[in-house]
Amino acid sequence: MDLNERLAEDMQLILRGAEEIIETEDLKRKISRFYQTGNPLIIKEGFDPSAPDIHLGHTVTLRKMRQFQDLGHQVVFLIGDFTGRIGDPTGKKESRKQLTEEEVKENAQTYAEQVFKILDPTKTRIEFNSQWLGALTLEDLIKITSYFTVARILEREDFNSRLKAGRPIGLHEFLYPLLQGYDSVALKADVELGGTDQRFNLLVGRDLQREFKQEPQVVLMMPLLEGTDGVEKMSKSLGNYIGINEPPFTMYGKVMSIPDFLIEKYFILLTDVPLSEVHKKKDLWEKNQLHPMAWKKELAFEIVKTYHSQTEARKAAEDFERAFQKKETPEQIVEVKLKREELTDGKIWVVALLEKTGIFSSRSEIKRLISQGGVYLNRERIADVGVDLPVKEDDSLRVGKKHFFRLRILD
């Protein structure tokens, strides 16, 4: 294979699912230089350790990083332990609560434990931006801020919206994109990855590198992944997420709950299934020659296989059939452990029981699901938020369409 063919092949992989690249010709030139010198490109992405549980939305860019690794390049997984104390204001209507140093360290460790389900640990550098940002002097910071105007910073839509609405903007928030940009200077990044909502921050990195006499990084933006509701960006706080550490059956069921129109996008961004095959299946679906549920089952199998194993994916598929099509109880159920002293005469308040599952962010969310008839104990629907339920060992609990639990009573 000559270098032109190799470049075309590499670019095809890199461009898969990408929303925008600034600039494509710059990337081609950098990759061509890698062929000639053997010096790998430095591929950077930063993660704010305020929400350390990785879900499929995070994996869109992580998978792109892995593709760069497979092409021979150096990936830097950057944990923003310093910038995390500010909190990225992107998309926020209000100032974010600043994390303590202890919270940042704990979250950073959780990230590091999860990320190697996707990245190759032998080809990954994990860096913490406190190493260089913490060493900046006031003189250094003034120099960095001198390269940007207030008008430029207010070009950010979220800042502009908050200003017009009369909502406060902290001066420290103005610093966030500048410090993220300086990360690229410190790492001498060739490429920075991010979602489309990070466009402003990523371009600041290019500008700062120019000011520091470095070759500007290529900005590669990936689309935001809608969650299981098909509307909002995947987010744990919205409850529409699919976590990469979730049990196989739960993961499979959540994938099966996504709207049909997202199947193709999930295949492109979350799997290695060849694009030619994805497009062929989409064509069959549009011609009503492929049922969307059948196609979605293939998707769920691929995703569970990626984060667990082929055996676990097969078992999750069988349990899904048993639970939803044969109306039987699935074998693969998460345990909910109750201490005997938590029960009163063998009973527990239904809301307190559902809190034990760990899948809800608030009691109001629990009460809403109960009122909607989405909770079953031993196949009996529970519709009263005030009821105390008699429970015993091995009782089965179904929450919504995707979550199944078995009760364990501990003495």
Pairing of strands 380-382, 403-410: unpaired
Cα–Cα distance, 342 to 111 (Å, whole number): 33
Query: pLDDT tens for residues 160-185?
Result: 788 788 888 877 788 888 999 999 99
Q: What are the domain boundaries of the chain?
A: 3-222, 248-325, 334-410
The reported pLDDT for the residue numbered 306 is 95
The reported pLDDT for the residue numbered 236 is 79
Q: % helix / strand / coil in the chain, to the nearest 5?
A: 50, 15, 35
* pTM more than 0.85: no
For the record, the structure tokens of 313 come out as 């994916």
What CATH code would you report for 334-410? 3.10.290.10
DSSP-derived letter for residue 226 is: B
The reported pLDDT for the residue numbered 289 is 93
The reported pLDDT for the residue numbered 263 is 96
The reported pLDDT for the residue numbered 98 is 62
The reported pLDDT for the residue numbered 396 is 83
Cβ-contact 160, 136 below 8 angstroms: no
The reported pLDDT for the residue numbered 99 is 66
Cα–Cα distance, 169 to 173 (Å, whole number): 7
Architecture of domain 3-222: 3-Layer(aba) Sandwich (3.40)
The reported pLDDT for the residue numbered 87 is 57
The reported pLDDT for the residue numbered 255 is 94
For 405, phi then psi, to 5°, come to: -135, 155
The reported pLDDT for the residue numbered 109 is 75
E strand spans, 305-346: 334-339
Cα–Cα distance, 153 to 155 (Å, whole number): 5
Q: Of 275, 257, 278, give the one whose Cα is nearest residue 12.
A: 275
The reported pLDDT for the residue numbered 166 is 81
DSSP-derived letter for residue 230 is: S
User: What CATH topology corresponds to 248-325?
Assistant: Tyrosyl-Transfer RNA Synthetase (1.10.240)
- Ramachandran area for residue 100 (φ above 0: left; ψ -120 to 50: alpha; else beta): beta
Cα–Cα distance, 156 to 161 (Å, whole number): 9
End-to-end, the C-alpha distance of the chain in Å comes to: 67
* Local confidence pLDDT in tens for the 411 residues of the chain: 788 899 999 999 999 999 999 999 999 999 999 999 999 999 999 987 766 678 999 999 999 999 999 999 999 999 888 887 665 555 444 444 566 777 777 777 777 778 889 999 889 998 989 999 999 999 999 999 998 888 888 877 777 788 788 888 877 788 888 999 999 999 999 999 999 988 988 999 999 999 999 999 999 999 999 998 898 999 877 878 899 988 898 899 899 989 999 999 999 999 999 999 999 999 999 999 999 999 999 999 999 999 999 999 999 999 888 776 665 556 567 888 888 888 988 899 999 999 988 888 888 889 888 888 888 887 788 888 888 999 888 788 888 877 888 888 887
The reported pLDDT for the residue numbered 33 is 96
Amino acid at 249: F
